[in-house]
Amino acid sequence: MNPAEIDEARAQAQALIAACSEPNALKDLERRYLGKSGVLAGWLAGIPALPPAERPQLGQAVNRLKRELGELIVARSAALEKEAFERDAAAGTFDPTLPPPGVERGHLHPLTQLTREVEDLFVSMGYQVADGPEIETDWNNFEALNIPPDHPARDSQDTFYLDGPGPLVLRTHTSPVQIRALTRLAPPLRVIAPGKVFRHEATDASHEHTFHQLEGLVVDKHVSVAHLIHSMKTLLRGIFRKDVEVRLRPGFFPFVEPGFELDARCPFCTSGCSVCKQTRWIELLPCGLVHPNVLKAGGVDPDEWSGFAFGLGLSRLVMLRYGINDVRLLLGGDLRFLEQF
Ligand SMILES: [Zn+2]
C-alpha cells in the first residue's frame, strides 16, 4: 500500500458509489470497501508491517478514506431512498393513507398473570380480594400474629426496619392483612390478599429479598380442616388443570393452631423428578386453623368463631408452573427472560 494506491481506490470507489442505482448493490460496495474483510481493513491490518516512519501518515490516510467513503455511502443510500419514494408517488402506487406499521406491545409479567388467575379462582369460591400496605407496623406484622419481640420466629423472618412514629417494618409476609381484615370486616369472611413481601436475605437461586405471596383467611362458624383442604384442592385444580392430591404434615407457625405444611402431589411426574427431588411430593404452603390469640387481636371472639389461614408463595407457584429454577429471574427485569411468557 502507498499513497498513490489509496488515491486510486478513492477515485474508483467514488465513481462506483455515484453510479450505484440499487440499494443491494450499494450494500455490496460497502462490504467490499468498509467490511470486516474489506479493502480498507486489509490495509489497516498491514500497517504494523510497514517501516515505522510511514505508519502514521498511511494510517491517517486510510482512516480519512474510510470516513469519506462512509459518508458517501450514507448520502447515496438516502438519495436512492428518496428516488424510490418519488418514483412510487409518481406511479400512484404509494398510498399515504395506509396505517403505519404496528407498535410493539408488551405483556403482563408472569407473576401478574398467575396472580390474576388465582384471584379469579378464589373469587369464584366467594372470597374477596384485600390489599395491605408493604410498610407495616411491627404490631400487625409480628405481635398481633402471636410473634412477640423475643419469639424465635423473628430470626427466620429478618426484615428491613424503618424509622417512623412507631416501629415500622417492610412486611415479611402477607399475614398482617389477616389482622387488617379481621379488624375492618365482621365475620363471617373469606379474604385473600396477594402482594409483595420482603426479607433481609442473602440472595441465591431460591432466596430473594423481595417476593410474592398470597394470604388466605376464612372466618366462620364451625370451620374445619376439611374446608381448608377443599379450597386448596380447588386452587390446585385451577392452576394445574387437573386434580392434584394433597397431604398435610404437622408444622409450627405461631399464628395457627393446629398448623400444617400442605404438600401437593408432584404434577410433573409419575415416578419422581428433579422438581419434587424424587419424593413425588412438593412442599406447597403453610396453613392451619387460626390461633385464638390472632382472632382476639383482630377483635373476634374465638369462642364463637373459628377459621383457617394459609400463605401461598406466588413466586414459588410461578416457578413450579414454568419450571423456573432461579427466583432472582422473576424480578431481574431481563427482557430475554420475560419475553418467554
Ligand atoms: Zn416430580
What is the per-residue pLDDT across 217-270, written as a single tens digit (0 to 9) for each? 999 999 999 999 998 888 888 888 888 899 999 998 888 999 999 998 888 888
Contact 256, 218 (CB under 8 A): no
239 C-alpha to center of ligand 1: Å? 16
173 C-alpha to center of ligand 1: Å? 27
Alpha carbon 332 to its chain's center: 6
Q: How far is CA 35 from CA 49, 61, 66, 172, in A?
A: 21, 17, 10, 57
Q: How far is CA 180 from CA 94, 231, 300, in A?
A: 63, 22, 12
282 C-alpha to center of ligand 1: Å? 8
144 C-alpha to center of ligand 1: Å? 38
276 C-alpha to center of ligand 1: Å? 4
177 C-alpha to center of ligand 1: Å? 33
158 C-alpha to center of ligand 1: Å? 31
In the structure, ligand 1 is a single-atom ion and the residues with CB under 5 Å from it are 266, 268-269, 273, 275-276
267 C-alpha to center of ligand 1: Å? 7
Question: Phi and psi dihedrals of 250, rounded to 5?
Answer: -60, 140
232 C-alpha to center of ligand 1: Å? 19
Strands (E), 35-87: none
pLDDT, mean over the chain: 89
213 C-alpha to center of ligand 1: Å? 23
Question: Phi and psi dihedrals of 239, rounded to 5?
Answer: -75, -45
> ∠ CA 25-29-33 to the nearest 5 degrees?
170
Give the containing element (helix H, strand E) for 309. strand 306-313
275 C-alpha to center of ligand 1: Å? 5
> Could you give the CA distance from residue 2 to residue 13 in angstroms, rounded to a whole number?
17
Exposure on the CB side of residue 26, measured as CA atoms within 13 A: 20
19 C-alpha to center of ligand 1: Å? 67
The residue behind cell 407498535 is 103
214 C-alpha to center of ligand 1: Å? 24
| Non-local CB neighbours of 171 within 8 Å, separated by 6+ positions | 132, 133, 134, 135, 136, 140, 141, 159, 197, 198
Contact 18, 76 (CB under 8 A): yes
- Which three cell numbers, joined as nine digits, stand for 92? 400512484
pLDDT in tens, the chain (341 residues): 788 888 999 999 999 999 999 999 999 999 999 999 899 999 889 888 888 888 888 889 999 999 999 999 999 999 999 988 888 888 877 777 888 888 888 899 999 999 999 999 999 989 999 998 999 988 888 888 888 888 877 777 788 888 877 888 899 988 888 888 888 888 899 999 999 999 988 888 878 899 899 999 999 999 999 999 998 888 888 888 888 899 999 998 888 999 999 998 888 888 988 878 899 998 888 999 999 998 998 889 999 999 999 988 889 889 888 888 888 899 998 999 999 98
